[in-house]
Amino acid sequence: MLLFTPGPTPVPESVRKAMAEETIHHRTPEFEAIFARARKALFHLMKTDEVVMLASTGTGAMEAAVTNLCRDTLLNINAGKFGERFGKIAQAHGLRNVELKYGWDTPAEVEDVLDALQENPRIDAIAIQISESAGGLRHPVEAIAAAVKEARPDVMIIADGITAVGVERIDVTHIDALLAGSQKALMLPPGLAVIGLSHAAVEKIGAGKGYYFNLATEIKKQRANTTAWTAATTLVIGLEAVLSEIDSQGVESLYDETARRGAATRAALEAIGLHIYPKTPAPSMTTIDDENANEIRTLLKNEFDVNVAGGQDHLKGKIFRINHMGLIKPYEMAWVVNAVEVALDQLGRRTYDGTAGKVFNEIFFGLSV
Ligand SMILES: *Cc1c(COP(=O)(O)O)cnc(C)c1O
């Protein structure tokens, strides 16, 4: 079965093999050496001033960023499940929150964020997804961050890059916390989260907040290549392996190929009459809204061995999402768009003529037609 869900993503064989070695103790020079290499590779990938790894899923990183960087009021951008979650985290910790709500296909606007800041001077942190996985939407995070810093340099920008880090270039100039998670773009099993931090964020964290997710404690330990609590050793070993695998291809070429694979997929599916759901698609996934979304997903799984994701909440049964994150072979992607085209024929929607595969190849391989 081809796993084409936008998280979890397939774990490359070299990474699975690296993680199959014997468990090693986390308080040893052997593990600290691995940790140091993983940490160095993360700095290279994230391009932030500081970086910490946490033994948690992505939501733990969201919580740690909010509790350590927001002291009064959080502005959260809600254009989907994950943006909504930031607001729930703030509330669970007794912080105030102001929410800017959008349709799940609609990117946030700079002006709305600036207006919200004007109306609510107590906002001291903004949380937003770079790629909102609920609808496959790309928010203009860099533009929002730049405008916010110009108006209110003290406001912290928390950018959830769980489906963006390792997928696309992110300008971190005005971002204070950049979040990543293992089972999405990092192609690992679930259980490891990463937060990249700016100098300003480290300063605001000060003595930190909370206990397990106290980022001050982690920063201090991780600068010495160890962790406050037991490290997720196997996942850190996997992280080092996956980042060196990415490095051998070159991360810039991975970004370019991912963008091209996504563009070719969207063009192929549009060419057979399907509709792209988000107004600004993220490179991490292609989301199609369709009245037969469920039937298409079932056919893909049962007839073509392809597992794609559906939608949640009001989009349940209304969309399907195809992953682009990770080291995906073009022949796998070509099979998926072909399978969707055959599925449409089987549903009596459109007579098969090979258009999807043709368009995919033309765009992915840059064939002139
Ligand atoms: C998956 C995801 C999360 C949550 O991560 P978990 O690992 O499920 O806790 C947060 N934000 C985005 C954008 C995601 O795609």
Atom of ligand 1 nearest to the CA of 82: 11
Model pLDDT for residues 204-223, shown as the tens digit of each residue: 999 999 999 999 999 999 99
Q: Does residue 296 sit in the same domain as residue 244?
A: no
Does residue 146 fall inside a structural domain?
A: yes
- Taking the centre of ligand 1 as the mean of its atom positions, its distance from the CA of residue 52, in whole angstroms, is 17
Q: Does residue 341 sit in the same domain as residue 213?
A: no
The two three-digit tokens of residue 110, written as one number? 């700079």
The two three-digit tokens of residue 85, written as one number? 């979650």
Does residue 7 fall inside a structural domain?
A: no
The two three-digit tokens of residue 246, written as one number? 């990415």
Does residue 3 fall inside a structural domain?
A: no
Q: Does residue 211 sit in the same domain as residue 350?
A: no
Model pLDDT for residues 153-165, shown as the tens digit of each residue: 999 999 999 999 9
Does residue 369 fall inside a structural domain?
A: no
**Total structural domains in the chain?**
2
Q: Does residue 106 sit in the same domain as residue 217?
A: yes
Atom 5 of ligand 1 has which residue's CA nearest to it?
58
Query: Distance between alpha carbon 170 and the CA centroid of its chain, in Å?
Result: 11
CA end-to-end distance (rounded Å), the chain = 33
Residue with tokens 């989009």: 315
The C-alpha atoms of residue 154 and residue 132 are separated, in whole angstroms, by 25
Domain endpoint, select from 232, 248, 264: 248
Closest C-alpha to 54, from 70, 67, 71? 67
Does residue 194 fall inside a structural domain?
A: yes
The C-alpha atoms of residue 45 and residue 364 are separated, in whole angstroms, by 25
Closest C-alpha to 49, from 173, 156, 180, 213? 173
Average pLDDT over residues 271-296: 98
The C-alpha atoms of residue 278 and residue 157 are separated, in whole angstroms, by 23
- Taking the centre of ligand 1 as the mean of its atom positions, its distance from the CA of residue 354, in whole angstroms, is 35
pLDDT of residue 23: 86
Sequence-ordered list of residues with C-beta below 8 angstroms from that of 350, at least 6 positions apart, any chain = 272, 273, 341, 344
Q: Does residue 258 sit in the same domain as residue 127?
A: no
Q: Does residue 210 sit in the same domain as residue 116?
A: yes
pLDDT of residue 368: 75
Q: Is the pTM of this model over 0.85?
A: yes
What type of residue sits at position 42? L
Q: Does residue 59 sit in the same domain as residue 198?
A: yes
For 49, list phi and psi in degrees, rounded to 5. Answer: -75, -30
The C-alpha atoms of residue 349 and residue 156 are separated, in whole angstroms, by 49
Burial of 96 (0-12, 13-18, 19+ CB in 10 A): middle
Contact in structure between 54 and 193 (CB atoms under 8 Å): yes
- Taking the centre of ligand 1 as the mean of its atom positions, its distance from the CA of residue 325, in whole angstroms, is 14
Q: Does residue 201 sit in the same domain as residue 300?
A: no
According to DSSP, residue 201 is labeled H
Model pLDDT for residues 247-276, shown as the tens digit of each residue: 999 999 999 999 999 999 999 999 999 999
The two three-digit tokens of residue 350, written as one number? 């459109």
Does residue 321 fall inside a structural domain?
A: yes
Q: Indicate the top mutation candidate among 63, 66, 82 to test ligand 1's pocket, ranked by most ligand atoms within 8 A of CB.
A: 82
pLDDT of residue 210: 97
Model pLDDT for residues 50-75, shown as the tens digit of each residue: 999 999 999 999 999 999 999 999 99
- Taking the centre of ligand 1 as the mean of its atom positions, its distance from the CA of residue 126, in whole angstroms, is 17
CA angle 76, 43, 67 (to 5 degrees): 30
Domain endpoint, select from 248, 281, 308: 248
Ligand 1 pocket by Cβ (under 6 Å): 7, 57-59, 82, 129, 133, 160, 162-163, 181, 184, 190
- Taking the centre of ligand 1 as the mean of its atom positions, its distance from the CA of residue 162, in whole angstroms, is 6
Q: Does residue 228 sit in the same domain as residue 351?
A: no
For 366, list phi and psi in degrees, rounded to 5. Answer: 60, 40
Does residue 135 fall inside a structural domain?
A: yes
- Taking the centre of ligand 1 as the mean of its atom positions, its distance from the CA of residue 58, in whole angstroms, is 5
Q: In the structure, what pLDDT confidence band is assigned to residue 323 with cuts at 50, 70 and 90?
A: very high
What CATH number has the domain bearing residue 268? Answer: 3.90.1150.10
Quick check: 328 pLDDT over 80? yes
Tell me how long the chain is. Answer: 369
Sequence-ordered list of residues with C-beta below 8 angstroms from that of 38, at least 6 positions apart, any chain = 53, 236, 239, 240, 243
What type of residue sits at position 323? N
Strands ordered across the beta sheet of 73-78: 50-54, 193-197, 177-181, 156-160, 123-129, 73-78, 96-101
Strands (E), the chain: 2-3, 50-54, 73-78, 96-101, 123-129, 131-132, 137-138, 156-160, 177-181, 193-197, 275-276, 285-289, 306-307, 319-323
Domain endpoint, select from 216, 248, 280: 248
Does 8 sit behind a cis peptide bond, omega within 30 degrees of 0 on the bond before it?
yes
Q: Does residue 176 sit in the same domain as residue 223?
A: yes
Does residue 307 fall inside a structural domain?
A: yes
Atom of ligand 1 nearest to the CA of 61: 9
For 28, list phi and psi in degrees, rounded to 5. Answer: -140, 155
- Taking the centre of ligand 1 as the mean of its atom positions, its distance from the CA of residue 366, in whole angstroms, is 33
Model pLDDT for residues 27-39, shown as the tens digit of each residue: 999 999 999 999 9
Q: Does residue 211 sit in the same domain as residue 241?
A: yes
Q: Does residue 164 sit in the same domain as residue 258?
A: no
Residue with tokens 């609590």: 229
Atom 12 of ligand 1 has which residue's CA nearest to it?
162
Determine the structural domain holding residue 198 and report its residue range.
12-248
What CATH number has the domain bearing residue 146? Answer: 3.40.640.10
Q: Indicate the top mutation candidate among 86, 184, 285 to test ligand 1's pocket, ranked by most ligand atoms within 8 A of CB.
A: 184
The C-alpha atoms of residue 316 and residue 210 are separated, in whole angstroms, by 36
Atom of ligand 1 nearest to the CA of 130: 13
